[in-house]
Chain A
Amino acid sequence: MRRKGKKRILIAKPGLDGHDRGAKVVARALRNAGMEVIYMGLHQTPLQIVNTAIDEDVDAVGLSILSGAHKTIFPKIMVLLKEKGVSDMLVFGGGTIPKKDWEGLKKIGVGKIFTPGSDTQEIVDYLNEVIEG
């Protein structure tokens, strides 16, 4: 059952990188902004993330990556989503993802990337704008 009006966001950190301060702060900020947040924490495989996203019927998946593995992880997630027939789920990202890689990520369907120094309000605004209420 879909809860009317309340946005449901999955925040996860794929891979083995341990820098989770950002992901946690974002999860709390989204919660404080009235969204429902499922925080998966670290060490998630792309398949685990996609399965949870589908099971939990989320509106968006936010991936935090600070290891430099974004060019491996994002494509994998996008392919898995497609394979499972999901086409309307927003996938966005945060972390140390250089600008020069944004274009490539956009091409495969990834939404906005938030780098260190981003305001959490920007993320809230972005989700409110992109996800229909």
Chain B
Amino acid sequence: MSVLFNQDAIDEIEKNKDEWNRTYPHEKERDTVFETLSGIPVEPLYTPEHTADLDYLHDLGFPGKPPYVRGVHPTMYRGRTWTMRQLAGFGPAEETNRRYKLLLKEGATGINGIFDYPTLRGYDSTDPLAYADCGRGGVAIDTLEDMRILFDGIALDKVSSSLVTCQPVCNITVQSMYFANAKNRGVPLNKLIGTSQNDFLMETCMATAPGVLPPEASFKLSCDAIEYCARYAQRWNPISFAGYNYRETGCTADQEIAFVMANAIACCEELIGRGLDVDSFAPRLSFFLNCHNDFFEEIAKCRAARRIWYKIMDERFRAKNPRSKTFRFHVQTAGVALTAQQPLNNIARSAYHALAAVMGGAQSVHIDAYDEALCIPTELSALTALRSNQILQLETRVTQTIDPLGGSYFVESLTNELEKKIVTLLDEVDQLGGIVKVTETGWIHKKIADSSYEYQQAIETGKMPIVGVNCYRIEDEVLPIELFEVPETLQIQEERLNRVKKERNYLEVQRALDAISRCCDEDKNLMEVIVESVQAFVTEGEITSVLKSNYGTWNPPLF
């Protein structure tokens, strides 16, 4: 046993603690409930007995060694600092291409590309449902031609690109376009570095819209992309379980982790069921987390997640490759914690969130821009967010030692508490039949809606102070910043789409769409076919129509 303290020392400390507790003036405490954002009680003081049961080698280990609580790499930030991956995307492809290049020139170390609402939902820009949202919230992609323009002049084998193709219905086409574009540029697929989001809960649970693909179909598309990459693009992370968005939708910290784990477990089971060896795809499963207001809880959450993932992969799936057992994650600072009021305050907020991410051992970090509760980032706000990231990395010296809060009585205790809470919830999902099942039944929708309502109540009752919102408000505030206006996009997309449609070979298009339809019938891997299909300039909307006519549509439960 390599426990942190010997029993005699613990007993002695406990005795003294009791004494201290007796004299602690509880009545002088502020009138508030001391607990984490997810509701774990927080004590006035943490001492060695809180961590007395920790077995150092078994429960914490060394960086790069099981159970990876202290970090997934041996050197962590002493070797390589986190990737600064600032989210960007708006308007037509040429505008976003310029923004990518600006961020890279100013020191961003990876691309993080978001797509507009129609693209995320699988519609063409010209669809009657889409016209008002074209170019909004991200860049518009309809065909391979847009993808060519989007990455023009960016080295696909050198710059890692994260494609925020949240929903599998979007990912299966847009990732295929990225891959097809690489092929056209002569870059082999196994040289591509990047990530696609590709999370079926994004389609079926986080943004509940009628007429989406049913959970099972969406989940299948997600697994198709993972399987495809395991075969052809081994450096690509084909899924990034989007705990970030679960949190933005309303989840608490423990729900965020439990649901990403449940999703990842389902993917492992499905792919093993397809005959794949767990170590052929698991090293490339990646995660996307939120860092929110509760500083220590967020740090503990990241540390607990590493331990839980290690145990799942080691015990449940018997993975052999150490990389299959390491929980690697990107963090975005909490958008939902930003305020529209006094927006410059968000610079401070997001910096704390990012500090938590780094204390939690994140592999890459996006810091939100201060205007994100109001509009998509301007050049100035995007650059300021990147600078916050650089200041954290270069000036604060937090990168000098690995897992600096490891061994903190409080942080270790909170890590344990969160682990317990997450595992309990994960067991519940298991007992209910797994993540696809609890999505179909609406169990998960209800859980999340309840949490988000409680959160709102906590703000409105003043239980949770938010500066500028329920305290320290400025009445009749004049907005101190310029807001971003999305450039006219629909016309550009319409013209381009019409031109592409005129120039493409319609017979080829028809053949490609037939092939996709046949592939659905035969229940084969769709990505195999779609990477080829998009070369014929089939549009995203056309592919979605084929998928929906084959798999039907689904209306998620509303709560």
Of the residues A24, A72, A96, A116, contact of B132 by C-beta under 8 Å? A72
Query: Any chain A CB within 8 A of the CB of B42?
Result: no
Which residues of chain A have C-beta atoms less than 8 A from B374's C-beta?
Answer: 96, 98
Task: Tell me whether chain B's interface is mostly helix, strand or loop, or mixed.
Answer: loop
Chain A residues near B123 (CB, 8 Å)? 16
Q: Are A41 and B208 in contact (CB under 8 A)?
A: yes
Q: Answer yes or no: B460 CB below 8 A from chain A CBs.
A: yes
Question: Cβ of B375 and Cβ of A42 under 8 Å apart?
Answer: no
Q: Number of B residues contacting the other chain (C-beta, 8 Å)?
A: 47
Look across to chain B and name the residue whose beta carbon is closest to the beta carbon of A24. Answer: B449
Give chain A nearest CB distance to B138 CB in angstroms.
10
Q: Which of A43, A98, A120 has the most CB of B within 10 A?
A: A43
- Give the CA-CA distance A19 to B376 in the complex, in Å: 14
In the assembled complex, which residues on chain B have CB atoms less than 8 Å from the CB atom of A98? 374-375, 479, 483
Q: Are A25 and B456 neighbours in the complex by a CB distance under 8 Å? A: yes
Q: How far is the CA of A119 from the CA of B136 in the complex (A)?
A: 26
Residue A52 is within 8 A (CB to CB) of chain B in the complex: no
A2 at the interface (CB under 8 A from B): no
Does A18 count as interface, using CB distance less than 8 angstroms? yes
Query: For the side of the interface on A, what is the size category?
Result: 20 to 34
Nearest chain A residue, comparing its CB with the CB of B209: A42
* Complex partner residue of B129 from A15, A20, A121, CB under 8 angstroms: A15
Q: Given contacts A16-B118, A17-B137, are A96 and B209 in contact (CB under 8 A)?
A: no
Pair B206/A18 contact, Cβ less than 8 Å: yes
B210 to chain A, nearest CB (A): 6
Number of A-B contacts (CB under 8 A): 109
Q: Is B121 close to A, CB under 8 A?
A: yes
Whether a CB of chain A sits under 8 angstroms from the CB of B550 is no
- Let me know if A104 is at the binding interface, CB within 8 A: no
User: What separation, in Å, do the CA atoms of A18 and B339 have in the docked complex?
Assistant: 19
Interfacial residues of chain A within 10-41, with CB under 8 A of chain B in the complex: 14-21, 24-25, 28-29, 39, 41
CA distance A43 to B118 in the complex (A): 10
In the bound complex, residues from chain A placing their C-beta under 8 Å from that of B376 are 68
User: Which residues of chain A come closer than 8 Å to B280, judged between CB atoms?
Assistant: none
Q: A42-B207, A116-B340 given. 7 additional CB < 8 A pairs?
A: A15-B117, A16-B133, A17-B133, A17-B136, A21-B248, A21-B250, A116-B339
- B interface, CB within 8 angstroms of A: 117-118, 120-121, 123, 128-133, 136-137, 166, 202, 206-211, 248-250, 336, 338-341, 373-376, 449, 452-453, 456, 460, 466, 468-470, 479, 483, 486, 558-559
What 3 A-B pairs come out closest when comparing CB atoms? A18-B207, A42-B209, A16-B117
